[in-house]
């Protein structure tokens, strides 16, 4: 599969943004990570303090065969039900994207349900969910590549319409199991270190989930140095879709805000597949899911928020849009020492 080339960060614009930050009426560095965020965005976009008004969360939806093993307290039927809730504007992601004045694109890349043609739903189904990875690879290579292409295509279509800021979100019962398996491989950790409660497992359920992931990794034996082998054997169609969105965003110099564990697992795979992707990533928040901080550390990213959010859907990323606006507004609108007639340091 051919991937696009990831451009270099614009170091000249980044340097100019840093100099402009130092000229503002505040002690140097006193706005903390908001300063660093605005400088990073300048390097990504090649623009100082862009407004980034055209923004969207790409919410990829798919089902997982591993749910047959009882890894979630919710049945697989919840996936299409939640997709309908998104389309009816009743979910957390709908509330937060309205607040942040952003769109949410719901993409059926692998839900085990035939949706009619509905407003707001992008139907790009690759398969009716993954196989049960305890007994066989989750996807064929063709399916994984097709799902990556879906993600790349929907991002590029939005970019052609003027998209300036993107985020990834997901819906798929069982996808924290797939993401924990991916995290264990990418971060060289034991399943017990990176597996969380997902949608609310009790202690017994968590132990069962860890045990199943251990069995999956033993049975499938993915190559930890081969991101496509990992994705095919223990991944998900929505994870592959988000991987494609992430790659295409970086190729188009569009900042990509990661959400929680699942979104970040997709971003980590994207960076392994196409080096340089990480330069266009922003960590929206830190999820309490056990493996998330390991993935962020591996990417060299520090989360903007830590609110113990774990609903997924892209909610942490959408909430972080507001901080991105704040960072750019400070750089764009704040007076300089010269314009305000204030003495700067000697």
Domain boundaries, the chain: 11-49+330-340, 55-323
Instruction: Give me the mean pLDDT over the 18-37 stretch.
Output: 95
Among the listed ranges 70-79, 130-139, 157-166, which one has the minimum average pLDDT value? 70-79
Across residues 215-239, what is the average pLDDT?
98
199 — pLDDT class (breaks 50, 70, 90): confident
Q: Is the pLDDT of residue 133 over 80?
A: yes
Q: Do the two domains 11-49+330-340 and 55-323 of this chain adopt the same fold?
A: no
Residue 280 has pLDDT above 60, yes or no: yes
d(CA 239, CA 149): 12
Q: Is the pLDDT of residue 346 over 60?
A: no
Q: Summarize the confidence of residues 180-192 as an average pLDDT.
A: 98
Catalytic residue among 35, 204, 313, 333: 313
**How far is it, in rounded angstroms, from Cα 58 to Cα 72?**
24
Average the pLDDT over 233-244 and give the result: 98
Q: Residue 51, SS3?
A: coil
In the CATH scheme, what architecture does the domain 11-49+330-340 have? Answer: Orthogonal Bundle (1.10)
Task: Determine the Cα–Cα distance for residues 222 and 148; give it in Å rounded to an integer.
Answer: 19
Residue 222 has pLDDT above 70, yes or no: yes
**Per-residue confidence (pLDDT) for residue 343, from 0 to 100:** 84
Here the tokens at position 108 are 């059926």
Q: What average pLDDT does the chain have?
A: 96
Task: Give every CB contact of residue 308 below 8 A, 6+ residues apart in sequence.
Answer: 288
313 in active site = yes
Residue 334 pLDDT level (bands cut at 50, 70, 90): very high
Q: Above 80 in pLDDT, residue 135?
A: yes
Q: Which sign does the torsion angle of CA 56, 269, 176, 264 carry?
A: negative
Q: What is the pLDDT of residue 174?
A: 96
Q: Is the pLDDT of residue 270 over 70?
A: yes
Query: Helix 11-23 vs helix 33-45: angle between axes, to the nearest 10 degrees?
Result: 150
Q: Where are the alpha helices (DSSP H) in 161-304?
A: 175-186, 191-194, 203-220, 227-234, 237-251, 261-273, 292-299
How many whole angstroms separate alpha carbon 60 and alpha carbon 245?
Answer: 10
- Give 296-328 pLDDT, tens digit per residue: 999 999 999 999 999 999 999 999 999 999 999
Tell me: domain 55-323, CATH 3.40.50.10210, correct?
Answer: yes
- For the segment 181-205, the average pLDDT, to the nearest whole number, is 94
């Amino acid at each position: 599969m051919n991937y696009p080339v990831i451009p270099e960060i614009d170091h000249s614009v980044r340097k100019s943004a840093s100099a402009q930050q130092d000229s503002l009426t505040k002690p140097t560095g006193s706005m903390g990570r908001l300063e660093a965020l605005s400088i990073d965005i300048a390097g990504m976009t090649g623009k100082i303090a862009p407004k980034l008004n055209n923004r969207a969360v790409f919410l990829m939806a798919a089902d997982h065969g591993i749910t047959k093993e009882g890894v979630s307290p919710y049945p697989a039927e919840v996936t299409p039900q939640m997709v309908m809730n998104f389309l009816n504007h009743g979910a957390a992601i709908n509330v937060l994207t309205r607040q942040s004045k952003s769109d949410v694109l719901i993409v059926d890349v692998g839900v085990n349900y035939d949706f009619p043609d509905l407003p707001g739903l992008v139907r790009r189904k690759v398969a009716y969910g993954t196989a049960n990875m305890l007994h066989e690879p989750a996807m064929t290579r063709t399916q994984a590549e097709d799902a990556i292409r879906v993600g790349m295509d929907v991002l590029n279509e939005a970019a052609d319409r003027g998209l300036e800021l993107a985020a990834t979100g997901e819906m798929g019962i069982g996808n924290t199991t797939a993401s924990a398996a991916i995290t264990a491989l990418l971060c060289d950790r034991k399943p017990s270190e990176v597996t969380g409660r997902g949608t609310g497992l009790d202690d017994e359920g968590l132990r069962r989930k860890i045990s199943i992931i251990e069995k999956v990794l033993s049975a499938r034996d993915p190559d930890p140095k081969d991101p496509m082998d990992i994705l095919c054997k223990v991944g998900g169609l929505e994870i592959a879709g988000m991987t494609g969105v992430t790659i295409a965003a970086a190729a188009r110099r569009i900042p990509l805000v990661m959400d929680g564990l699942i979104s970040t697992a997709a971003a980590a795979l994207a960076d392994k597949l196409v080096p340089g992707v990480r330069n266009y990533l922003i960590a929206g928040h830190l999820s309490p899911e056990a493996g998330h901080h390991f993935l962020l550390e591996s990417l060299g990213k520090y989360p903007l928020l830590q609110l113990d959010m774990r609903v997924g859907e892209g909610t942490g990323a959408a909430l972080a849009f507001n901080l991105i606006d704040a960072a750019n507004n400070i750089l764009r609108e704040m007076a300089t020492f010269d314009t305000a007639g204030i003495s700067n340091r000697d």
